[in-house]
Amino acid sequence: MQISIAAFAFGVIVGGFSYGIYFRLPYILTAISMLISLATSFFLYEEKNYQHHHKTLKESLKENLQGFKQLAKINMRAYLLPIILIMFIAYLYDYGFPKPAIAVNFGFYEKEQALIYALMALLNITIIGLLPRIRRFIKDKLGLNLVTFLLGIGFMLASLKLGYLGLLVLIMIELSWNVADPWISIIVNKNIESKYRATTLSTLQFISKLPYILINFILGKAIDNGAANLFHLILGVMIIVLISGSILVNKRNKNNLSLVES
């Protein structure tokens, strides 16, 4: 993951400055790199040391259902909402409109964004490398809840005209979801049997992307109407409300379980 982040850092620097030269140049360079990748792929091969089994539709549906069953287990319930919120916000932010929209709101344009996102990629590499140490001091459940709160606060602050101070908000949002990504994988690996882990992660990806289609459409309309900041504020408040409700429900369930056991 750290290698991919480093590659991203290089890409945003080239993309930002090439956009300043000619606004179509980043797309041209991307197309060229994809053609090179396509040509290279023809020279790659993998030894056939296994028998490939073509799954039937029934088997695929059964496998996907198993992912939902694993997420419904007691040991995963406390993590479920923060994980879905983090994955949804990360996808919306990184692949949707919020990332450039928030940066522009703070006064950062193509060249500034190129430098900022390259810097943040280096910070992400550092923070992800420190994750094992962070987990020694912060438990998994608390860590995901804190990350979700930081994302909610970050989006609320993104609605303000903070100028260059907005750089701190961008760093907070970027670091939060990037450190949460491997953290989520660790939690799934710890709580789900190995034979179900890939299916469970795929199910999480599916669930977290469902709201993206609708929310991204709403955000696009908000940007057209000059209401992107209001959208970010509402989204931030919703994140805070949902994660607060999740914590209260989990705490109540834990107390009820303690009473039953006693």
pLDDT reported for residue 112: 87
Q: What are phi and psi of 22, to 5 degrees?
A: -155, 125
Cβ of 42: how many Cβ atoms within 10 Å? 7
Whole-angstrom Cα Rg for the chain? 21
pLDDT reported for residue 261: 55
Which amino acid belongs to residue 230? L
Number of domains in the chain: 1
Which amino acid belongs to residue 144? L
Residue 207 domain flag? yes
pLDDT reported for residue 258: 59
What's the pTM value of the predicted model, to 2 decimals?
A: 0.82
Residue 102 domain flag? yes
Residue 84 domain flag? yes
Residue 239 domain flag? yes
Local confidence band at 257 (pLDDT 50, 70, 90 cut-offs): low
Distance in angstroms (rounded) separating the CA atoms of residues 174 and 215: 20
**pLDDT per residue as tens digits for the range 138-173:** 999 999 999 999 999 999 999 999 999 999 999 999
Tokens 């608390």 locate to 142
Residue 85 domain flag? yes
Looking up residue 84, the CATH number of its domain turns out to be 1.20.1250
> What's the whole-number mean pLDDT along residues 88-93?
92
CB half-sphere exposure, 223, CA atoms < 13 A: 15
Check whether 5 has a pLDDT greater than 80.
no
SS3 at position 169: helix
**pLDDT per residue as tens digits for the range 14-69:** 877 888 788 889 889 989 989 999 999 888 876 665 566 666 777 777 777 888 88
Which amino acid belongs to residue 74? I
> What's the whole-number mean pLDDT along residues 98-126?
87
Q: Who wins on pLDDT, 99 or 220? A: 99
Check whether 240 has a pLDDT greater than 90.
yes
Q: What percent of the chain has pLDDT over 70?
A: 91
SS3 at position 101: helix
Q: What are phi and psi of 178, to 5 degrees?
A: -75, -35
Distance in angstroms (rounded) separating the CA atoms of residues 209 and 88: 6
Residue 186 domain flag? yes
Residue 22 domain flag? no
What single string gives the DSSP state of each residue in 118-160?
Answer: HHHHHHHHHHHHTHHHHHHHS-HHHHHHHHHHHHHHHHHHTTS
pLDDT reported for residue 48: 66
Local confidence band at 255 (pLDDT 50, 70, 90 cut-offs): confident
Residue 94's nearest CA partner among 10, 204, 12, 186 is 12
Distance in angstroms (rounded) separating the CA atoms of residues 105 and 99: 10
pLDDT reported for residue 152: 96
**pLDDT per residue as tens digits for the range 171-198:** 999 999 999 999 999 999 999 988 888 8
Residue 73 domain flag? yes
Range of the domain at 244: 63-108+138-261
Distance in angstroms (rounded) separating the CA atoms of residues 161 and 105: 7
pLDDT reported for residue 233: 95
Check whether 251 has a pLDDT greater than 70.
yes
Distance in angstroms (rounded) separating the CA atoms of residues 101 and 107: 10
Residue 175's nearest CA partner among 154, 145, 159 is 154
pLDDT reported for residue 215: 86
The two structure tokens encoding residue 173: 């949002």
> What's the whole-number mean pLDDT along residues 236-260?
84
Distance in angstroms (rounded) separating the CA atoms of residues 104 and 115: 14
pLDDT reported for residue 168: 94
Distance in angstroms (rounded) separating the CA atoms of residues 15 and 4: 16
The two structure tokens encoding residue 153: 């606060």
